[in-house]
Copies of this chain bind each other. A is one copy, B any other.
């Protein structure tokens, strides 16, 4: 298509996003041009701010705009339990049901034998360090109910159990093959209530 350079470039930027093909990118770019100056300025500002102000918590690995993150800083939370998730969206999903009051650890990935991703390729070493001399009594593995989620869960259990830490996982209330971030609140609630020991 023959577009003026500024819109061609904007289409290019939109099409770099996941699941956005060239037609959708074109539609979004044209829509953007019709938006108010304020909304477009805000959009650009938010892009830069998100990239600049967000980082990963040096303790738990959660996405945060302060370090340590608000959860790690909160001494009223149960310091004896750590819930392990794949990414920060899972932390938000869990916080949203207001049922879990312990700490988190964000893996930024899952062990995936099929894809050659091992324990050293995800944020696991820092969990072991964290558990030394800590008050943690229970680790709840809340990885997705997928093959990689299972592999990760089994690995964590194998490593932590000999150290005398109780390792549980979310109950199989989660539909097999589904993602935690899309689970409805009741399912998540049941899943955490019925967590089972590994």
Could you tell me which A residues sit within 8 Å of B by CB distance?
1-7, 9-10, 12-13, 16-20, 23-24, 26-33, 35, 37, 39-51, 53-54, 63-66, 87-89, 92-93, 95-96, 181-182
Contacts and interface: CB of A to CB of B under 8 A. Distances in A.
A30 B88 contact: yes
B87 A12 contact: no
The majority secondary structure among interface residues of chain A is helix
A34 B35 CA distance: 26
B6 A29 contact: no
A62 to B, nearest CB: 9
A92 to B, nearest CB: 4
A131 B118 CA distance: 70
Count of this chain's copies in the oligomeric assembly: 2
B7 A63 contact: yes
Contacts of A49: 6, 9-10
Contacts of A46: 6, 9-10, 12-13
Nearest to A28: B17
A47 B44 contact: yes
B33 A27 contact: no
Most central of A6, A18, A28, A47 by chain B CB within 10 Å: A47
A64 B8 CA distance: 11
Given A17-B31, A47-B40, A88-B30, A6 B54 contact: yes
Given A6-B65, A42-B13, A51 B30 contact: no
